[in-house]
Copies of this chain bind each other. A is one copy, B any other.
Amino acid sequence: MTPERYAKVKAVLNKRQKDLTVLMDEVNKPHNLAAIVRTCDAVGVGHAHAIAPSKRLRLGNNTTSGSTKWVRVDTHPDIDAAAKVLRAQGMQLVCTQLSDRSVDFREIDYTKPTCIIVGAEKFGVSEATAAAADHHVIIPMDGMVQSLNVSVATAIVLYEAERQRREKGFYDSLQLDDELYQKLMTEWLHP
């Protein structure tokens, strides 16, 4: 273990956001899952969630740039199971979805404990998932096409959260609790 490696791991763990996460609602294309996990790592989301009823999550190792090593992804059989876990952590559920209660995604306060929910290419988020959310948000669309690629939409919302949190100093002081910090430090330094 080099001193540079130690410094890098420490700097990254110091920026991990324990109360910001993503829930992928049956997102099924590996390259989309991979790009989402990679963006999670980049904004300090160290723990993400997926609803994946039938099969194991396929995260292509190719385009994640290895990010699955740094981001834990828990799978849940359905929204009820996922919401139970997230609610227990005090998260507001922000669902990216066009509906009659959607607001512009920039209007949400992402400095609160927040889970951003995203849906699959074909079907979007399920009705049950949409119903469970506290907020529906929409990224403005000024063109002919109705929706963005899901990994693109996730990243736009995550970087708005990053902007708000950076402004409030969330990346300047340790957020993780000590136990998790020590556990990850050990795992990442001695793989």
Q: Hey, which chain B residues are within 8 Å of A148, CB to CB? A: 35, 38-39, 42, 155
Pick the interface stretch among A66-74, A88-96, A112-120: A66-74
- Interface assignment of A8: CB less than 8 Å from any CB of chain B: yes
Q: Hey, which chain B residues are within 8 Å of A42, CB to CB? A: 139, 141-143, 145, 148
Q: Which positions 30-87 of chain A face chain B at CB distance < 8 Å?
A: 31, 34-35, 38-44, 63, 65-67, 69-70
Given A31-B31, A65-B147, A121-B63, A171 and B152 contact (CB-CB distance below 8 Å): no
A70 to B121, CA, bound (A): 20
Whether A39 contacts B149 by the Cβ 8 Å rule is yes
Whether B144 contacts A41 by the Cβ 8 Å rule is yes
- Interface assignment of A6: CB less than 8 Å from any CB of chain B: no
A12 to B163, CA, bound (A): 29
- Interface assignment of A15: CB less than 8 Å from any CB of chain B: yes
Whether A65 contacts B146 by the Cβ 8 Å rule is yes
Chain B: CB-nearest residue to A8:
B144
Q: Which positions 156-191 of chain A face chain B at CB distance < 8 Å?
A: 156, 159, 162-163, 166, 171, 188
Q: Which 10 A-B pairs have the closest CB atoms?
A: A41-B143, A35-B149, A152-B155, A15-B142, A70-B144, A44-B142, A42-B143, A65-B145, A67-B145, A42-B141
A-B contact list, 28 entries, CB within 8 Å: A12-B142, A12-B143, A15-B142, A34-B149, A35-B149, A35-B151, A38-B145, A38-B149, A39-B149, A39-B152, A41-B144, A42-B139, A42-B142, A42-B145, A42-B148, A44-B142, A63-B121, A63-B149, A67-B143, A67-B144, A67-B145, A70-B144, A139-B159, A144-B188, A151-B151, A151-B152, A152-B152, A156-B159
